[in-house]
Structure formats: structure tokens, C-alpha cells
Amino acid sequence: MQHFQNTIRPLLTGHYNLSQEAFDWWRKLQSGYPDLNFFRNTAQKIFEIIPVLPPVVEPSPHRCRTCAVVGNSGNLRRSHYGKLIDQCDSVFRINRGQTKGFEEDVGSRTTHRVMYPESASHLDNSTHMVLFPFKGRDLEWLVNTFRTSSNAPGKHKPIANKNMVMVVHPAFMQYVHKSWLQSKGKYPSTGFMSVILALHLCDEVHVFGFGADRDGNWTHYWTKLYKIWRTGPHPGSAEYEMIEELARKGKIVLYKGF
């Protein structure tokens, strides 16, 4: 509970509030982005396209919202977790995590696809897009991709159902970095932020596909290991240690794979 802030808004809404302090932290992740007013104008354009309130299932004493957060670790190979993953109400997959050909280990259902423009892929009409805006241009990309797409013949098809788009709040990204990781690394990974997002949106969180495989290799489950994988600007060790701590405390269920 020293890390978890129940009052934080994880997703942008049409009634959002972004402080100058949170904006300044977010702006440091990029270069050359204009001021807070430019952000507000871009956000206004976003909510002319997507719902003012994000499409989330609200808490209720009559249901338990179960969520699977599926990372891309090679430890999912030969894990046989597919059925466990698909049994959860919501299944969050990270960036380009694949299912075709890997169903036995990773399942086949995807209800939420976490992405940013460089990792984007077209989604079916029933999958939520969960956009992590690491850059101001990511928000502009969201506006442009829907404004220039259409279901009309000869046009670019929309990347997702605009009524199922969720945009992570920049202040939430700062909160994960400062409160959960003590500002280690430049910024958190999409995978780790997805775990913390699930803690805020779900009642029961199951985490798959994080960490190295049993031989200590860091790789994706759909690729061969050619070289050692680096965590880049993300504090990979600190993130995984926190995930393990959450599991020890019984706040999540962690499946370590094969």
C-alpha cells in the first residue's frame, strides 16, 4: 500500500486534469514537444473521436473482474498456460505478442492490446486498444490515424474500434515510475505499466510471460535466441523484483513458465 494510490486516474477521460509537474516529467521522455496548452488541444481532438469516458468494467460487489496480463517472455514456451489465460475475463497482451501457432502456451483470446505507434497493429472490432503515449506525437498519431481511415472501399481501414480505445494518462505513467520504481531507469516498460494498470482496473490479476526462461535467457516466445536481450531505458531488474514482491504479498498470481 505504500506504492498503490487508489485516487490516481489510470486513463485519460474527457474531464482529465494534468498538472504542470506531471506534464514536465512526461515531456522529458521526448524532445521538442510544445507546452501544456498544446497537449490540451490535442487531447480535445482525441475526445472528439473516442468516448469521453473509457470503456472499463466498473467494480461491483456482485462480480470479480479477473485479468490476465500476458508478457512476451520466452518462458511461455512449453508452459501450457493457454487455457488458464483464456479463462480470465480480460486478457491484456503487450505490443506484438502473438497467439497464432502458440495457443497451447499463450491462449487465443485478446480483449486488450497494449501498444504505442511503433508497436501498433490492426485490431478486430472487439479488442480494446490501450495506448501508452510515450510521446506527444503518439497522441497526434491517434488523432491522425482515425481521421484518415474509413471503412469505405479503397480507404485505409481503422486500426481499431474507436469506441474501444483507452489512452493511458501521462500522470499514471509518472506515478508508476516514481511510486513503484522509485524513479529507476528513464521510464517504465509497457509490460510493467500494464501490470500496475491491471491492479487498478481488475479485482484479481494473473501475470504470465515476464522474466527470463529457466536458462536465464531473455527473449520473446515467438523468436529464437540470437543475442542477449537488453531492457534499454527500462529498469528491467527493478520491475521484475517488484512483480515478484507483489506475488509474494498475494496481490497478483505470477506464473513463471518453463
Active site amino acids: 187, 234
Q: In whole angstroms, how far apart are CA 256 and each of 63, 137, 153, 229? A: 27, 36, 46, 18
Q: Is 176 helix (H, G, I), strand (E, B) or coil?
A: helix
d(CA 205, CA 202): 6
**Sheet hosting strand 112-115, strand order edge to edge:** 165-167, 128-131, 112-115, 90-94, 66-70, 204-208, 253-255
- Please check whether residue 36 is in contact with residue 23, taking contact to mean a CB–CB distance below 8 angstroms: yes
Per DSSP (E only), the strands in the chain are 66-70, 90-94, 112-115, 128-131, 165-167, 204-208, 253-255
- Please check whether residue 10 is in contact with residue 197, taking contact to mean a CB–CB distance below 8 angstroms: yes
